[in-house]
A = this chain, B = another copy of it.
Amino acid sequence: MNFLTIQDVSHVYFSKQTSTTALHDISLTVNEGEFISIIGPSGCGKTTLLSIIAGLIKPTVGTVILDNEPIHMKNKKTGYMLQQDYLFPWKTIEENIFLGLKLTNQLTNKTKIKTLSLLKKIGLSNVKDQYPSQLSGGMRQRVALVRTLATDPKLLLLDEPFSALDYQTKLTLEELVYLTLKQFHKTAVLVTHDIGEAIAMSDRIYLLSKGPGKVAQVFTVPKELRQLSPLEIRNSEQYNELFTIIWKELESLEGKN
């Protein structure tokens, strides 16, 4: 059974003068425990799509079914990590990562400890009493990730979560997130610009084209790769093959515009 079903979703942004069709007729399904990535040129509607899945934007037409229920704003099953970190500058790192727990009334000693251990795993336990302005961009992004994971959502929506990180940290985190999600059998939708990242982490990759955004192609990451961790994948033969295919595809997409 499908955990997430997106059915014929289109979205148009209106202003008084203009209308921008951001998404056109998107349909896709994700099973429980699957990890999918969305790639595509800048402005093709990736963020819009995530916002729709999170229930923050009502699509102009189409339906989104999550865990057998139409999505709505008050749903607590999804964790959404925005494209920028949006840590609250007036809260300490600790207060920031407890935010979701507090809002959903789950702030207990147990969840606190769990969240702090997550912060530690991600290499930032020493900054918990600092304010976001004292952290570098990469550190902030990692904190935002912990904030999203803290409420233990069934569906994770990640909008370029690793873009501000140096290569090394990025790989470590990919590994960490990947293993954590697999371990607890979570479902995830990742938006990224990095083809390598998409291949390394996901079961399926949706390539969106622009103007307006629609699904141009779907790539399934081969079974053999799926059994490896993101680090190992990058060193495999098949990785390079898939990378080249997707790249070509992206290139031809750009060419068409």
Contact B137 A168 (CB under 8 A): no
Question: How many protomers of this protein does the assembly include?
Answer: 2
Interface size of A in residues (CB-CB distance below 8 Å):
25
Contact B43 A251 (CB under 8 A): no
Judge if A153 is at the interface, Cβ distance under 8 Å.
no
Judge if A169 is at the interface, Cβ distance under 8 Å.
yes
With A42-B137, A136-B43 already in contact, the answer to whether A194 and B167 are too (CB < 8 A) is yes
Judge if A164 is at the interface, Cβ distance under 8 Å.
yes
Q: CB-CB < 8 A to A166: which residues of B?
A: 39-42, 193, 250
Judge if A86 is at the interface, Cβ distance under 8 Å.
no
Partner of A254, one of B41, B137, B168: B168
CB distance from A108 to the nearest CB of B (A): 33
Q: CB-CB < 8 A to A139: which residues of B?
A: 42-43
Contact A41 B168 (CB under 8 A): yes
Q: CB-CB < 8 A to A167: which residues of B?
A: 193-195, 247, 250
Q: CB-CB < 8 A to A250: which residues of B?
A: 166-168
Leading 4 A-B pairs by shortest Cβ distance: A42-B138, A166-B193, A42-B136, A43-B136
Could you tell me which A residues sit within 8 Å of B by CB distance? 39-43, 83, 136-139, 163-170, 193-195, 247, 250-251, 254
